[in-house]
Chains A and B, each alone.
Chain A
Amino acid sequence: MQKREVLLEVKNLKKYFPVKNFFGRKVGDLKAVDDVSFVIYKGETFGLVGESGCGKSTLGRTILQMLKPDAGQVIYHGKDIANLPKSQWKDLREKLQIIFQDPYSALNPNWTVRELISEPLKNAGLSREQCDTRVRELLKLVNMNEDDMEKFSYEFSGGQRQRIGIARAVASYPEFIFCDEPISALDVSVQAQVVNMLKDLQQELGLTYLFTAHDLSMVHHISDRIGVMYLGSMVELGKSEDVFRDPLHPYTRALISAIPVADPKLGRESSRIPIEGELPSPMNAPRGCRFCTRCPHATERCREERPELREVADERWAACHLL
């Protein structure tokens, strides 16, 4: 594969939420994103998987600077946007967009479709006529009717709303879109529709996605590369094909073995690996490997020493002492 262009580089990113006791004193940190580093290449879809509460959404939002990181860098076009003065931020802002999980909460119910999609355009300084023209283009792009412009978002189904959200996200010609579980809240029947639309738009507009979802097979389907998160840190990273065919980290193996198979007669090569125990609270993650409390292969070393994410094979990264 030829040398790919790095679009975004995340370096040692940390986002902690202070936890207070009921007297209002800080008693600790919830380490939602704990020292995560990776790169996203231009034009790819980077899938992020993990249980809910593992910090996927926080990671994405911290990259977009919707949440202020506590430490680390996010390098975009050679600039560290995590520590950028506000004045230089402005132009970059429209290039980084988001699609939300809940298409109900993501769209102001008091606004019409025209107003919703125009919001980023207006903010970029377009005139009303320019906005309207662009909104028409965008509606066509997401297979919606021009007549829908004056309707309110509550008059649409979940899938249609999500398409309005997509239209809004691509309105100002972004480069990077964080798709924060864009299909989780949708009916299964429209999930594929939305995913395919996202793929098509990626081709057409040269977009780069950071994509999160619960549904592993959907992530498999859309992603070029995959990162697996567990308790705020990245435990495995690699090409989508590789990770799914041959998961390295015990956690990834367990996750992938849990994907249901459509035809029971086919069975699966490896039987299901159950994950024992409960997900520890991110507030007091184990001292050593975060997964050691639930890992069937955990050794003394795993409990004492935290494994780094390292390249264990070509384009394969994992954080495990046993590899």
Chain B
Amino acid sequence: MKNRRLELAKRTFLRDKGMWFALAFLLFIVAIAIGIGFTDADPNALNLQKMCAPPDSENLFGTDELGRDYLTRVIYGARVSLLVGVLAMLASVTIGVLVGLVAGYFGGVVDSILMRIVDVFCAIPWIIMVTVVGLLFQKGLASIVIVIGCFGWMEISRLVRTETMTAKNREFVHYAELIGVPKWKIILLHILPSIFPVIITAATGAIANAIMVESAMSFLGFGVAAPQSSWGTLLKTAQSTLSKAPHMAILPGVLIICTICSFNKLGDLLRLFVEPRAMQEGK
């Protein structure tokens, strides 16, 4: 069974050029974001003689309103955006999986209470919740991660709950219960591995989502604050200098789209693992 899944995914991967692009792009952007730390490119080096300059041979993507090299700033922005994406994903996956597992496995009152909490969180549009909670913390990377993480877990927990309820009714779980294996062990050894593919799929979606939310928050001014900048912050600046330096709006936007698109595509590939039936739709 497992081999066939792998094979299916591999075949799709080899055939789908978009998949190649997605993976290559993600590797590329991560490599660059890490790599730039080892060069002497300084995102904060001012050049007041050359403000809002369009692209030329010296500054491939022009300069910003303070004459800083825009490409360098965008790559440093990638660091922030990707970091927020990954960390927020870890936070929301952790919460979502925990809540979903507990609610799905124990059921009954525990399930009802947890699912009502999920309902409450879901009833508040993310943009509102995120901005309100964003106020609680000093502006900064950590607070953004917490905020996005704490409000992106509901979908994951619902998904994990459903999967857990299915997994719970497998006979091998009944068997472990019969011979008296402790509940935490059953969850850890039997249920978690069975729903692992679902978690991985949800995680890629969560990264894409977190990057999107972060950019929107930063764009509205509730996100990462200067001197740190993410793609969203860069776009916010670009808005105010739009008439003078339209080139500043292009690069961060394109990168956001490509990154999110790639993560979504990756999620599609992983979904084949979880439900090989989805494959048929693509045929």
Binding site for B on A (CB under 8 A): 64-66, 89-90, 93-94, 96-98, 100, 102, 105-110, 119-120, 123, 152, 154, 168, 172
Contact = CB atoms under 8 A, between A and B. Distances in A.
Given A102-B171, A105-B171, A109-B2, A119 B176 contact: yes
Contacts of A108: 170, 172, 190, 193-194
B172 A106 contact: yes
Contacts of B190: 108
The 10 A-B pairs of least Cβ separation, nearest first, read A106-B171, A105-B171, A108-B172, A110-B193, A100-B171, A154-B1, A93-B180, A120-B179, A105-B170, A66-B178
A107 B172 contact: yes
Contacts of B7: none
Given A90-B180, A110-B194, A123-B181, A98 B2 contact: no
A89 B180 contact: yes
Contacts of B194: 108, 110
Nearest to A154: B1
A283 to B, nearest CB: 21
A119 B181 contact: yes
Contacts of A98: 175, 178
B119 interface: no
B16 interface: no
B177 interface: yes
Given A98-B178, A110-B193, A119-B175, 14 more contacts: A64-B178, A66-B174, A66-B177, A93-B178, A97-B179, A105-B172, A106-B171, A106-B172, A107-B172, A108-B190, A110-B194, A119-B181, A123-B179, A123-B180
9 contacts: A64-B178, A65-B178, A90-B180, A100-B175, A106-B171, A108-B172, A110-B193, A110-B194, A123-B181
Contact of B179 (A93, A109, A152): A93
Contacts of B176: 119
A93 B194 CA distance: 26
A102 B175 CA distance: 12
Nearest to B194: A110
A90 B175 CA distance: 15
Contacts of B172: 105-108
**Of A96, A123, A168, which is in contact with the most chain B CB atoms at under 10 Å from its CB?**
A123
Interface of B: 1-2, 170-172, 174-181, 190, 193-194
Nearest to A172: B179
A109 B181 contact: no
A322 B2 CA distance: 57
Contacts of A66: 174, 177-178
**Of B179, B181, B194, which is in contact with the most chain A CB atoms at under 10 Å from its CB?**
B179
B162 to A, nearest CB: 18
Nearest to B185: A123
A79 to B, nearest CB: 16
A152 B2 contact: yes
B185 to A, nearest CB: 9
Given A94-B179, A119-B179, A109 B1 contact: yes
B197 to A, nearest CB: 11
A106 B178 CA distance: 12
Contacts of B170: 105, 108
A64 B172 CA distance: 15
B149 to A, nearest CB: 28
A237 B163 CA distance: 42
Contacts of B181: 119, 123
A48 to B, nearest CB: 18
Nearest to B172: A108
Contacts of B179: 93-94, 97, 119-120, 123, 172
Contacts of A93: 178-180
A65 B175 CA distance: 11
A89 B181 CA distance: 13
Nearest to A65: B178
A157 to B, nearest CB: 13
Nearest to B193: A110
Nearest to A100: B171
Nearest to A106: B171
Contacts of A90: 180
B200 to A, nearest CB: 14
Contacts of A64: 178
A86 B230 CA distance: 56
B55 to A, nearest CB: 53
Contacts of A65: 178
